[in-house]
A and B are shown apart, each in its own frame.
Chain A
Amino acid sequence: MSVNELKEKLAQVEQEAFKDLESLDSMHLLENIRLKYLGQKGALTEVLRGLGQLSKEERPLFGQLANQIKEKIQEALEKQRLVLEQKELQAKLSTEKIDITLPAIGNKLGHVHPLTQISNEIISIFGGMGFTAVEGPEIETDYYNFDALNTPADHPARDSQDTFYTNIGPQILLRSHTSCVQLRALEKQKPPIRIISLGRVYRNEEVTARKYPLFHQTDGILIDQNVTFGQLKGVLNEFIRILFGRPLKTRFRPDFFPFTEPSAELDSECLFCSGSGCRTCGHRGWLELLGCGMVDPNVLAEANIDPEKYSGFAWGMGVERFAMLKYGINDIRHLYSSDLRFLEQF
């Protein structure tokens, strides 16, 4: 065969290949076309077989030409492959459709108890003001629960905290408040002191919507030089502001507690009626939140801290009370019911 004939054949192969490619509409036929023209038994290879008949001079020129055509076909194949791939993807996407409104699958998550949530919040707010959390025993001695807190035996103040006594001994009781934890801590630390404690306390009371024979209290104490009543107001106002997410009007109302003097009850404007009076606040516009005061010098002296040099303030409050106010819980018994309908709301 002559060069010209071969060239003609090449042109023919090229033409046919392009024609085939143009009419191709399915991905899996693409390989057939590649084999048909570029494979070992393909048309192009067939043409190249004639190469041996050409002269030494003609061979490289023809070879070059054949390679050009091969590249051209390869390029076209590749281009067509991309087109077809895109087409097939579109076709696939247009048919694959699911009902996205079917329910979610997976483990239901558990819920964290509201008392855990409020406790963490309280500890972290006071933590931000430098108060370190400490713990102590729930079974306490008369000394820590009462005597060291300026409440000797036969003091009528003991009446307000109906106490459970135990079989362990006449002086062993279930703590009726968490202030005893502070005392235990005061024995070990020297001022400056900033601690809070949070834990379970017990009172010998009938179960009602507002009372349960056990509940939780959190107490704090700060002892340093130059500690004032105004700082007590500042710290507690700040606590209320952060816990309830807005500044609330507060008032410090004189009261009596054996281990603080002066003592005060902290009231805030009612969260539910903003002070205009509603059922929750007994139409008074105020909510009693906690008790507080300056640490009684006797308590400081009992802990070997010089009351002339140091002063301090302390407060104590019911954790349930805050949880109930914050989450709108109207019955303390819910908190101890283990009722999933309750727990799963938190």
Chain B
Amino acid sequence: MKLSFDWLSEYVDLSGVSPNQVADKLTMGAFEVEEVTKFGSDINGPLVVGEIIEINPHPNADKIRLTKIKIDEKSEARQIVCGASNIVVGQKIPVALPGAKVLNRHDGSELHIKESQIRGVTSYGMLCSPPELGILDAAEASEGILILDKETKLGTNVIELLGLKTDWILHVEPRSNRGDAMSVIGLAREVAALIERPLKEPLWELGTSNSFGEKWQVEIQNNDDCPFFSLRLIDGVKIGPSPNEIARRLQAVGMRPVNNIVDITNYVLYELGQPMHAYDSKVLSGEKLTVRRAKEKEKLHTLDDKERALSSEVLVIADSKEVVGIAGVMGGKSSEIGNATTSLALEAAMFNPARVRRSGRLLGITSESSLRFERGVDVAGVEQASNRATYLIAKYAQGKLGKLIISGSNKTEKKNISLRLSEFKRLADINIESNTVNKLLSPLGFSCRENSDKTLAIDIPSFRQRDVSREIDIVEEVLRLWGYDKVPVSMPSPTMAAQPVDNLINQVVHSLSAQGLNETWITSLVSFDDLTCNNLIPVNKQSLVSVLNPLSAEHQVLRISLIPGLIKAVVYNQNQSQSDIWLFEIGRIYQAKNKQDKNLNAIKVKDTGTNEDLYVAGIISGNCPQMNGINWTQSDSSSNNDSDKFFFTKGIIENLFSNLHISTDSLRYEQISENTYYHPGKSAQVFFLDKAGKTKSLGYFGEIHPAIAQVYGLKNAAFAFELNLEIIKTLRPSPTLLEIASTPVSVRDLSVDVTNSINQISVKQIIQSSSELLINVELVSLFPLSDNKKSLTYRLYFQDKKATLTAEQVEKQMTKIRNSLTSELSATFRM
């Protein structure tokens, strides 16, 4: 909320206090001031009221004239050159004398007035137009000089006369629980308490009312929706521009002046926090207003010129014919105050905050009025506010006071809270005495009485009954005024050790980053197009979790895989001329459960009906490093072909498992076709084989499907993997040491020729199961043969953990292995 320093100073004496000091006090007193800005122009005197005595033509120019201006009775009239055409002798006008600072009327820049020669004639000052004085939206704004009232005294200071002083605007963060402080008076009360000066309440005086409007009635259909409703009838109003000070203050807080009536309702809304609405009473039908829910199919053309379809959730004000306003939110266009209006029905009421919020939400309207009703207005203050507005209307629009019609009750219950002073000790380790509590709280309208039992009985003012209802609320109120900074700092007693965090995520991060992949974090809220890779991935719509109120299509549905995000990340980097793009992400994927025991009307729904599972996924695009050590691959080291990248990706996965102490011997790979993110011929599903021989799927890896690569514009084949960390989490054994045997290891190479259709793993498994003395089997080379055959060379490591193996023993094992391979795979051997 914008708070005008000038306006504020009407209710608290701010002499000797700067706007920044007030801002600091408010900030440390729970009302954060985000910034302090200057409003209005920096206009300086001497700037006085003068009278035009003579107007003569300029000897050297047609469009400008010479004037003689008198600025006081004693001294001689001075000569001022003027180009405006609207001046006549006898007018009172603002005169800027040499030394004054006004504004350039074209661009608002500073204009310093001095004696000057204008076409050979000396001018001793300047007659001012409204823009030159920083008066922007004046209703009579024209090209000419500002003409003042004839009765104005010569020599009067124009800055004071027109209220041209600079104002400072404090931008106060509104607090959702403090509707009472969404007003100048509310913040003035806080400031008064914080700087320890008295609060001055706004004044009004009402004459006796006439009988105008005595037949009017108001009806509230449901007191829950509207506890209190008042309507003041006012006759004989003259619509016109607002007085300068009201217009200026409204502008200062960002409201556009409209006319005196509308401005006064806005002024009181801002001043007291009570929203109000003025109807042109002649336009209303039936001399009766009803507060009720809208009927289905009812409509209202609102003040902002929009047609609104209403429903029974919306609370409205209706005359005998139709809806004329949305209660607490916005009025209707038809009963708007216009230039022809002469009589008013001025509504001031208290509406249910939740109902106003609901109405505003449904219609998509937030107004200054709804903001305040939602936070709660003080029912006890409604009538005062109405009287204040009526007073101003009588004063500035010549309104004649008619009847005040009311319905409902504006009485508030007296509420008091018992406060134990020991609570300050318990919650903040400080001692606060009852007189301190009294001194801190009474400027805010609380009153305290001491009870005999070391407690205080505290009466809550009506305007604070919404946010202060419990002892703890009082404790907070006292502490913030006493000063949080004075609460002594200590530490909790060190009685607990934290349970260690499961470091799975960090193990994965370290393993993958050590292997050269960069970690990234990607949005989990994606577009439907990315979720399905532009319809290439079939999805079960029932299982998706999507948001009902997305701000953009980009963030609409929770992801079901980490892969599309990584593909987009590769494309993004590719477009930044990066070539080797290796990335991984650890994150959740989301799914609705199949069967939901939805109890939608339950009060405390605790089950979300969804699953969130943690995954890790990675992508490799660009070159792989050249592999050193044993390299069975076919490609020469410079070419880096795509099938190598598949096995490189497989290596990343196996290294990761190895870091997690999951033996690669327990992994199984199967060719897949149903996972549509991957190339069907170059992808695999990874399984974990437990000791009981059961398998669990851990995830997938392989080349990104060429169709997807094309849709996203991947330049090169990219390889990706995605693994389920929820399952991996359950598999990690803690390592236990196997004895390191000291007997020598015998190494033999074995070249096995088999037909192409036989997978490497079948060969390896037969070798492994054919000898108990084998401790390791490695594939060291692979090359194709003619006749649809291939040759696989393995390096076999034999060891007997108890004794040294003889050459004969090893040869016996080799024979066994060869025999098995021959009988099971028809393998042949070469030396």
User: Can you name the residue of chain B whose Cβ is closest to the Cβ of A136?
Assistant: B612
8 Å CB contact of B547 from A166, A261, A341 = A166
- With A110-B518, A112-B509, A172-B609: A261-B472 Cβ-Cβ less than 8 Å: yes
Contact of A133 among B30, B501, B525, B625 (CB under 8 A): B501
Interface 1/0 per residue, A105-130 and B, CB below 8 Å: 01111111101100010010011111
- On chain A, the residues within 8 Å of B178 by CB distance are 256
Instruction: Decide yes or no whether B115 CB sits under 8 A from chain A.
Output: no
Contact with B549, one of A164, A230, A337 (Cβ below 8 angstroms): A164
Which stretch, B441-449, B482-490, B780-788, touches the partner chain A?
B482-490
Instruction: Check A338–B516 contact: CB distance below 8 A.
Output: no
- What residues of chain B lie closer than 8 Å to A62, measured between beta carbons? none
Q: Please choose the segment from B78-86, B95-103, B597-605, B744-752 that sits at the chain A interface, where 4 or more of its residues have CB less than 8 A away.
A: B597-605
Q: Tell whether B576 is near chain A: CB-to-CB under 8 Å.
A: yes
B357-A141 in contact (CB<8A): no
Expressed in whole angstroms, the minimum distance between the Cβ of B572 and any Cβ of chain A is 6
CB-based contact B583/A171 at 8 Å: no
Docked pose: A115 CA to B521 CA in angstroms: 8
Chain A residues positioned under 8 Å from B506 (CB to CB): 120
Query: Is residue A318 contacting chain B, with contact meaning CB distance below 8 A?
Result: no
Provided the pairs A107-B515, A229-B479, A262-B479 are in contact, do residues A167 and B548 lie with their beta carbons within 8 angstroms? yes
Residue of A nearest to B578 (CB): A340
Contact with B along A67-110 (1 / 0, CB 8 A): 00000000000000000000000000000000000000011111
Q: Is the CB of A110 within 8 A of B517?
A: yes
Question: Is B476 in contact with chain A by the CB < 8 A criterion?
Answer: yes
The stretch from A34-42, A51-59, A197-205 touching chain B is A197-205
Contact with A along B480-500 (1 / 0, CB 8 A): 100011011111111111110
**Complex CA distance for A337 and B357, rounded to whole angstroms:** 37
Binds B, one of A1-9, A11-19, A220-228: A220-228
Asked whether B525 lies within 8 Å of A340 as measured between CB atoms, the reply is no
Q: Does A60 contact B (CB under 8 A)?
A: no
Is residue B340 contacting chain A, with contact meaning CB distance below 8 A? Answer: no
Flag if A256 contacts B177 (CB, 8 Å): yes
Q: Sort chain B's interface into a size bin.
A: 35 or more
The answer to whether A140 and B608 have CB atoms under 8 Å apart is yes
8 Å CB contacts to B: which residues of A153-212?
A: 153-157, 159-160, 164-172, 174, 192, 194, 200, 202, 204-207, 212
Contacts of B497 in A (CB 8 A): 130
**Interface membership of chain B positions 162-182, coded 1 if the CB is closer than 8 angstroms to chain A and 0 otherwise:** 000000000000011110000
In the complex, whether B741 has a CB less than 8 A from a CB of chain A is: no
Q: Does residue A335 face the partner (Cβ distance < 8 Å to B)?
A: yes
Min CB gap A242→B, angstroms:
13
Are the C-beta atoms of B28 and A204 separated by less than 8 Å? no
User: Which of B499, B519, B578, B625 contacts A113 (CB under 8 A)?
Assistant: B519
B491 to chain A: which residues have CB within 8 Å?
231, 234-235, 238
Identify the closest chain A residue to B608 (Cβ). Answer: A139
* Chain A residues, CB < 8 A from B46: none
Q: Is the CB of B476 within 8 A of A262?
A: yes
Docked-complex contact B522 and A336, CB < 8 angstroms:
yes
- Known contacts A168-B610, A204-B551; is-contact A338 B588 (Cβ 8 Å): no
Contact call A213/B177, Cβ cutoff below 8 A: no
Least CB distance, A176 to chain B, in whole angstroms: 12
CB pair A227 B518 closer than 8 Å:
no
Q: Does B27 belong to the interface (CB within 8 Å)? A: yes
Q: Are B516 and A110 in contact (CB under 8 A)?
A: yes
Q: How far is the CA of A336 from the CA of B521 in the complex (A)?
A: 6
Q: Report the minimum CB–CB distance from B391 to chain A (whole Å).
A: 31
CB of B598 within 8 A of CB of A169, answer: yes
Residues of chain B contacted by A251 (CB below 8 angstroms): 28, 484-485
Q: Are A228 and B490 in contact (CB under 8 A)?
A: yes
Nearest CB of chain B from residue A207's CB, rounded to whole Å: 8
- Contact partner of B176 (CB less than 8 A), chosen from A131, A156, A164, is A156
Chain B residues 572-595 with CB under 8 Å of chain A are 572-573, 576, 578, 580-584, 588, 590, 592
Q: Are A168 and B608 in contact (CB under 8 A)?
A: yes
A138 contacts chain B at the CB level, 8 A cutoff: yes
User: Is B519 touching A143 in the complex (CB atoms < 8 A)?
Assistant: no
**Partner among B484, B548, B625 whose Cβ is within 8 Å of the Cβ of A229:** B484
Query: Which of B234-242, B278-286, B422-430, B431-439 touches A?
Result: B422-430
The winner among B374, B547, B552, B573 for most chain A CB atoms within 10 A is B547
Q: What is the CA–CA distance of A262 and B424 in the complex, to the nearest angstrom?
A: 11
Once A116-B519, A256-B175 are accepted as A-B contacts, the answer to whether A167 and B573 lie under 8 Å apart by CB is no
B637 at the interface (CB under 8 A from A): no
Which of A120, A169, A228 lies at the interface centre, i.e. has the most chain B CB atoms within 10 A of its CB? A228
Task: Decide: B176 and A343 in contact? CB cutoff 8 A.
Answer: no
Q: Is B827 an interface residue (CB 8 A)?
A: no
A10 at the interface (CB under 8 A from B): no
CB contact between B28 and one of A115, A169, A202, A253 (< 8 Å): that residue: A253
- A residues 284-340 near B (Cβ < 8 Å) are 294, 296-297, 311, 335-340
B345 at the interface (CB under 8 A from A): no
Please provide the chain B residues from 454 to 482 with a CB less than 8 Å away from any CB of chain A in the complex: 470, 472-473, 475-476, 479-480
Asked if A144 is at the interface (CB within 8 A of a chain B CB), the reply is: yes
Q: Does A263 contact B (CB under 8 A)?
A: yes
A22 within 8 A of B: no
**What residues of B have a CB within 8 angstroms of the CB of A154 in the complex?**
353-354, 357-358
Q: How far is the CB of A61 from chain B (nearest CB, A)?
A: 50
Bound complex: CA A237 to CA B491 (Å): 10
Contact A169 B547 (CB under 8 A): no
Contacts of A245 in B (CB 8 A): none
**Interfacial chain A residues near B606, Cβ < 8 Å:** 141, 143-144
Is A264 at the interface (CB under 8 A from chain B)?
yes
Complex: how many Å from CA A126 to CA B499?
11
Smallest beta-carbon distance B515→chain A, Å: 7
B29 contacts partner chain A, Cβ-Cβ < 8 Å: yes
Nearest-CB residue, chain A, relative to B352 = A154
B375 and chain A: residue at smallest CB distance: A156
Known contacts: A139-B610, A202-B525. The answer to whether A282 contacts B35 by CB under 8 A is yes
The answer to the question of B809 belonging to the interface, with a C-beta cut-off of 8 Å to chain A, is no
Contact A254 B590 (CB under 8 A): no
Mark interface residues in B13-37 (1 if CB within 8 Å of A CB, else 0): 0000000000000011110101100
The residue of chain B having its C-beta at the shortest distance from the C-beta of A199 within the complex is B588
| Chain A residue at smallest Cβ distance from B490 | A230
Known: A110-B516, A165-B549, A194-B496. A264 touches B610 (CB 8 A): no
A126 to B518, CA, bound (A): 27
Considering the complex, give the chain A residue whose CB is closest to the CB of B565. A338
The answer to whether B519 and A265 have CB atoms under 8 Å apart is no
What separation, in Å, do the CA atoms of A200 and B525 have in the docked complex?
11
Contact present for B609 and A116 (CB under 8 Å): no
A116 touches B509 (CB 8 A): yes
Verify B514–A110 contact, CB threshold 8 A. yes
Q: Which residues of A contact B605 (CB under 8 A)?
A: 141-143, 169, 171-172
Identify the closest chain A residue to B609 (Cβ). A168
Chain A to chain B contacts (Cβ below 8 Å), 9 pairs: A139-B545, A154-B354, A156-B374, A204-B551, A213-B555, A214-B524, A224-B493, A238-B491, A297-B472
Q: Which residues in B have some Cβ–Cβ distance to A below 8 Å?
A: 27-30, 32, 34-35, 175-178, 353-354, 357-358, 374-375, 426-429, 470, 472-473, 475-476, 479-480, 484-485, 487-499, 501, 506, 509-510, 512-525, 544-552, 555, 558, 565-566, 568-569, 572-573, 576, 578, 580-584, 588, 590, 592, 596, 598, 600, 602-610, 612, 625
A residues apposed to B, CB below 8 Å: 106-113, 115-116, 120, 123, 126-133, 137-144, 147-148, 153-157, 159-160, 164-172, 174, 192, 194, 200, 202, 204-207, 212-214, 222, 224, 226-231, 233-235, 237-238, 251-256, 258, 261-265, 282, 294, 296-297, 311, 335-341, 343-344
Additional pairs, 7, CB under 8 Å, beyond known A143-B605, A233-B487, A258-B177? A115-B521, A133-B501, A141-B605, A174-B558, A227-B492, A261-B472, A340-B576
Q: Shortest 5 CB-CB distances between A and B: which pairs? A: A338-B569, A154-B354, A254-B30, A110-B513, A254-B480
